[in-house]
Structure formats: structure tokens, C-alpha cells
Chains A and B, each alone.
Chain A
Amino acid sequence: GAGVSQSPRYKVAKRGQDVALRCDPISGHVSLFWYQQALGQGPEFLTYFQNEAQLDKSGLPSDRFFAERPEGSVSTLKIQRTQQEDSAVYLCASGLQGLYEQYFGPGTRLTVT
């Protein structure tokens, strides 16, 4: 079966541009997570959805970051007015409700120049 997919795989943005990163979770997975992974670091939690409801956005670093999952399936992470410190790999993960196991996508590597 298909795993979690993310697009684009690589994105280069000029400072100040807006970007949108897409995540297609595994079909039927209720939970969806976004993580940010800086170079040489472990992933850090950004936000969590249960179906279409965003239940936790405590990890979003600023109000320039916005995530949505309007129909409880595909999710988009949007970063407005990108800054150099936003350069990282953005990981999406999905899972079944109530279980800790999360299935990760390949990530989108964002480089802000």
C-alpha cells in the first residue's frame, strides 16, 4: 500500500516568499503530524490534527506558520514571509487514532536563500 507522500521534495524560496508544503497521509489514518527537522537535529513537533481538527499547534514557531487539513485527509503547511531560519526538512507523519506508531513521509527540504 502507499505510504505517506509529501510534495515538493525540495523547495528553494527567496527570503520573504510564501511557501506551501503538501502531505498525503496513509488512507484511513486519523492522526496527522507535522515536524520540523533542522540539519543535524532530531525532528521537532509543530502541529497535530485529528481528522480535520487541529488539536495542538503548540510547536508552531511563529504566526507565519499555518497548517490546515480541511477534509481530514490531505494537509498543507504554509509558511508566510519565509526567513533563513525556516530552512529545514519538514516531515509529515500519520497514524491510527489512539496508537503512538507514526508513519513518516520522506520530507520536504526547504532552503530559504
Chain B
Amino acid sequence: GNSVTQMEGPVTLSEEAFLTINCTYTATGYPSLFWYVQYPGEGLQLLLKATKADDKGSNKGFEATYRKETTSFHLEKGSVQVSDSAVYFCARGREGGATNKLIFGTGTLLAVQP
């Protein structure tokens, strides 16, 4: 079926470490892909997106590249900060149809220690 799979957490890193959170998707076509972030006590916020193959989304030092060959959209950051501690959700849009609903992964908790 159509789904999103992301690596399980929690991911615990020291400040300034390199971050990768893996995300893969299944789809019959090329849906838009997203990373959302949920900081403690706050609602989901769009972090970055990519709407077609080979696009790179970037924001706040985070990057993710739409790889159709591997059906992946891994999230990376070169140097994490304590303030990046949050839950990160990978999501894909629905192909076709009238509903632009999002299909989310289960989320990955990132804890960055000083």
C-alpha cells in the first residue's frame, strides 16, 4: 500500500553532531514529500518539502533530497543544536484525487544533549 516508513527513535546526539533520520515511502507515482517537526508543547510545523524527484528541500540547516531511485527522503543536518530536540515526522502527499491529505510516518524523537 501507500505508506511512509521512518527510523525509530529516540535518536540521542551530542551538540554539533551530524544528524540523519531515514525515511522511505511507497507510492505508484511521485508524490510530494515533507518533513514536519513538533517541538515540545507545540503543534506540527512544516520544516521542508520537495515536490518532484531530485528536488532538495532545505530550512534552518536541515536538508532532504527526493530520491526516486531509492524512494527515500532522508533528513540531514550537519551540526545539531539543543534547540533541535523535537519529534520529526516524514510525510507524503496523496497522488491524484481531490484530497491533498498527508500520510505520515510514526515520528522520530531527537534528543540533543549539550
Q: Name A's B-contacting residues (CB within 8 A).
A: 3-4, 31, 33, 35, 40-45, 48, 50, 55-56, 59, 91, 93, 95, 99-107
Closest to B36 in A: A104
Residue among B43, B102, B105 making CB contact with A106, cutoff 8 Å: B43
Q: Is B104 among interface residues, defined by CB-CB distance under 8 A?
A: yes
Residues 101-112 of chain B, each 1 if its beta carbon lies under 8 Å from chain A, else 0 = 111111100000
Task: Using A100-B49, A105-B43 as known contacts, say yes or no to A44 and B99 having CB atoms under 8 A apart.
Answer: no
Cβ–Cβ < 8 Å partners of A4 in chain B: 43
Q: Is B34 among interface residues, defined by CB-CB distance under 8 A?
A: yes
Closest to A107 in B: B43
Residue among B32, B51, B106 making CB contact with A41, cutoff 8 Å: B106
Q: Is B20 among interface residues, defined by CB-CB distance under 8 A?
A: no
- Determine how close the nearest CB of chain B comes to the CB of A53; give it in whole angstroms: 10
Q: Tell me the complex Cα distance, A99–B103, Å.
A: 15
B100–A42 contact, CB under 8 A? no
- Determine how close the nearest CB of chain A comes to the CB of B102; give it in whole angstroms: 6
Residue among B36, B98, B102 making CB contact with A45, cutoff 8 Å: B102
Task: Using A91-B44, A100-B49, A101-B46 as known contacts, say yes or no to A42 and B89 having CB atoms under 8 A apart.
Answer: yes
Assign chain B's interface to a size class.
20 to 34
Cβ–Cβ < 8 Å partners of B91 in chain A: 42
- Determine how close the nearest CB of chain B comes to the CB of A56; give it in whole angstroms: 4
A102–B102 contact, CB under 8 A? yes
Closest to B92 in A: A100
Closest to B31 in A: A100
- List residues of B (65-82) whose CB comes within 8 Å of A's CBs: none
Q: Tell me the complex Cα distance, A101–B42, Å.
A: 18
